Amino acid sequence: MKIGAMIPAQEIGNDPIALKDFAQGAEELGFDHLLLTDHVLQINRADYPDAFSPYSIDDAFQEPFVTYGYLAAVTKKIEMSTGILILPQRQAVLVAKQAAQVDFLSGGRLRLGIGVGWQEIEFEALGVPWKGRGKLCEEQIEVMRGLWMNELFEFEGEFHTVPKSGLNPNSIQKPIPIWFGGMSDAVAERTGRMGDGWIPVGTPESLKPQFDIMYAAAEKAGRNPKDIGIETIHGLKSPVGDEVITMDVCLDHAKLWVDAGGTHFTFGALGLGYTSVDQHLKLAMEFKERLEAL
């Protein structure tokens, strides 16, 4: 299992040096990949009392492509993944260009985790329809892969018209891996049919129905289900509520995923009050060493 470190962008502050130090530190400590979360906009919760939002305007979210373009120049081998980029909020051709640029600058180190989003406010602000975003996402991927895989590409679909054209520079990876985040049946089916990997949150047992859907969709599409990567993200604080989880519990969770065939595990220490790069790296390294010793 490959072990990654979540970039604690919400807790180390809007400091480019801290971002660099964390990325370089994770690489030096032997982590396989970085993971960076994504939101274009944050809200003041008091303005939207009925809206579900784990984050507020006080939480920083670094723009993934710009940030990884920066980190590509100060790292050498660590993979850079998005966890997750809200794809339907963006133009597919522009995402293809931005992702290809990061992949080119990093020497082929980008993994694109994508999702359809849950914060409707962002879609409204970006002028993108909320309904139908799953179907849009699928066509976006078709467009992006077409551009990455071909010098010249043309496409006519329900949402996109791409005259014969291409990207220069283009991606090094052919194509850039696309992983789907989410736990719904629709995401599981979409992953099995067209994804390189799946990024769910939960336990393998709780997600068994979605595993069954994903594997059935892969077989129906003529794909080998074993070729689909599986990544989960966990830390020492519950993603909902204020429950603090012990390192032993987190390791038990990781072991469940190892036994279930998980290929990637990303550790994050958000929500514990840590504000320094050293604190985050120290805890992540403790997790990594103990997991590798199991």
Residue type, 99: A
CA nearest to 33, candidates 85, 68, 70 = 68
- Predicted confidence at residue 238, as pLDDT, reads 62
Query: Could you give the CA distance from residue 286 to residue 288 in angstroms, rounded to a whole number?
Result: 5
Residue 284: count other Cβ atoms within 10 Å of its Cβ: 25
Query: Could you give the CA distance from residue 125 to residue 103 in angstroms, rounded to a whole number?
Result: 29
DSSP assignment of 276-290: SHHHHHHHHHHHHHH
The β-bridge partners of 112 are 178
Nearest-10 Cα torsion for 103, 104, 106, 111: 10
For residue 210, CA distances in Å to 115, 216, 218, 227, 234 come to 16, 10, 12, 17, 19
Task: List the structure tokens of 40.
Answer: 């274009």
Task: List the structure tokens of 136.
Answer: 């849009």
- Predicted confidence at residue 237, as pLDDT, reads 80
Which residue segments constitute the domains of the chain, with CATH numbers given? 2-293 (3.20.20.30)
Q: Are 11 and 270 in contact (CB under 8 A)?
A: yes
Query: Could you give the CA distance from residue 215 to residue 148 in angstroms, rounded to a whole number?
Result: 26
Query: Could you give the CA distance from residue 100 to residue 135 in angstroms, rounded to a whole number?
Result: 23
DSSP assignment of 266-279: EEE-TTS---SHHH
Query: Could you give the CA distance from residue 76 to residue 128 in angstroms, rounded to a whole number?
Result: 36
Residue 181 has φ and ψ, to the nearest 5°, of -100, 145
pTM of the model: 0.95
Query: Could you give the CA distance from residue 32 to residue 265 in angstroms, rounded to a whole number?
Result: 10
- Predicted confidence at residue 53, as pLDDT, reads 81
Residue 150: count other Cβ atoms within 10 Å of its Cβ: 14
Q: Hey, is 6 helix, strand or coil?
A: strand
How confident is the prediction along the chain (294 residues), in pLDDT tens digits per residue? 999 999 999 999 899 999 999 999 999 999 999 999 999 999 999 999 888 888 899 999 999 999 999 999 999 999 999 999 999 999 999 999 999 999 999 999 999 999 999 999 999 999 999 999 999 999 999 999 999 999 999 999 999 999 999 999 999 999 999 999 999 999 999 999 999 999 999 999 999 999 999 999 999 999 999 999 999 999 888 655 567 888 999 999 999 999 999 999 999 988 888 999 999 999 999 999 999 998
- Predicted confidence at residue 241, as pLDDT, reads 59
